[in-house]
Chains A and B, each alone.
Chain A
Amino acid sequence: MVKNLPVVPTAKAGSLVETPTGITWRIQYPEILANCNICLECTLFCPDGAIVQQEGKLVLTLKLCKGCGICANECEENAIQMIPEYSGVKGVFR
């Protein structure tokens, strides 16, 4: 029989997802290219959980991404490209 864990949380579980800490730090963002073979390795290497697998597909949540570039560096197919965040005078946050 599964009993509920004896927990009195002081913060709602996972509440930082709504207000991610590092979103304004990002100076480059990843883009998944067409030659991705869905090996899913980047889902385990992303520190921020910005790339996750959902039903066999990669889902990129830019809201969570800090733009560290680990995914692009580790991708064996070179299927992830880092693109500078500020293009032109007025930069745009996605």
Chain B
Amino acid sequence: MAISIADLSKEELFGQGHAGCGGCGAAVAGRQAMKALGSRTIITIPASCMATLGGSNLKTTWQIPFYHTLFEMAPAVSSGIRAALEAQGIEDVNVVSWAGDAGTADIGFQSLTGAAERNEHMIHVCYDNEMYMNTGGQTGSQTPMYAITSNMSKGKAVKKKNMLAIMQAHEIDYVASASIAYPLDLIAKFKKAAEKPGFSYIHILAPCHRGWQIPAEKTIEYARLAVESGLFELYEVDEGVRNRTFEPTFIPVADYLTTQGRFKHLTSEQVVKLQKSINVYYGRGGDEE
């Protein structure tokens, strides 16, 4: 059951020499995912950091077929690739569409929900850095409440859209959340998703140190703190059965939030409010009124 790092594939299918920033969370997510998916994979990526750091058409860091789609259609292109593979009788290939939070939850949502409804045999991955980082860090629907972005200097006023619950409502084969700080958990989820005959959705929390205004070397650390504080839950819904894959230790949310530049303006009332919502969600009492 348990996977050990030494047993993982030695192939470096993505990431070597990529064009992203030093300490890029998306690149970490890509490398970890490719360890699970292997070389028999075709990936489609819409406009996002992940597409640009894969390289231009003269040079690429991908060792597998990589198709840079238009912004709103990665799952639709993947559906077409799967249909073409099926017509040729090729069955051992994973078809993956890999989009950022905008390509998944906002501009890319219509093709995603269409592919999920048709239950296409593919995996859709959302690497979530909670902002539109490739265009300069604007607010999107996956930006958490209160976060400062380049176009909301006082912080976002409304909550983050629960994309995992939306995908769960499609009643697809497999829905999972993952964090780049827990690579073996992430890899196990990708392996599970690859074996499903229908649509799988994986939502990866991949911090962007530029947008979150944290030091580059703490990219992984903040991905871990988000999970440990309970703000990002690691779970999977396997054929309708929900299972939490990691029990957080519930560090105070203030440890995660207030050290980030994008949350530096948080008042203590706002932190208490967030902590209370976490306590209610996980059914933890002991929060004095």
Instruction: Report A's interface with B, CB cutoff 8 A.
Output: 2-3, 5-7, 9-22, 25-26, 39-41, 43-50, 52-54, 56, 61, 64, 66-70, 72-74
16 residue pairs of the A-B complex, CB under 8 angstroms, read A5-B93, A13-B60, A13-B64, A14-B16, A17-B17, A22-B19, A22-B22, A41-B183, A44-B8, A48-B17, A48-B22, A64-B16, A69-B215, A70-B28, A70-B219, A74-B220
- In the bound assembly, the distance between CA atoms of A50 and B233 in angstroms comes to 30
Q: Which of B19, B28, B221 contacts A16 (CB 8 A)?
A: B19
Which residue of A has the minimal Cβ distance to B14? A49
**Would you call A56 and B6 a contact (CB within 8 A)?**
yes
Instruction: Report B's interface with A, CB cutoff 8 A.
Output: 5-6, 8, 10, 12, 14-25, 27-28, 31-32, 35, 40, 42, 55-65, 84-85, 88-90, 92-93, 180, 183, 215-221
Main secondary structure of the interface of A (DSSP, over half): loop
**Would you call A3 and B16 a contact (CB within 8 A)?**
no
Main secondary structure of the interface of B (DSSP, over half): loop
Which residue of A has the minimal Cβ distance to B40? A5
Which residue of A has the minimal Cβ distance to B91? A3
**Would you call A48 and B16 a contact (CB within 8 A)?**
yes
**Would you call A68 and B16 a contact (CB within 8 A)?**
no
Whether A44 touches B217, Cβ cut-off 8 Å, given contacts A20-B16, A68-B22, is: no
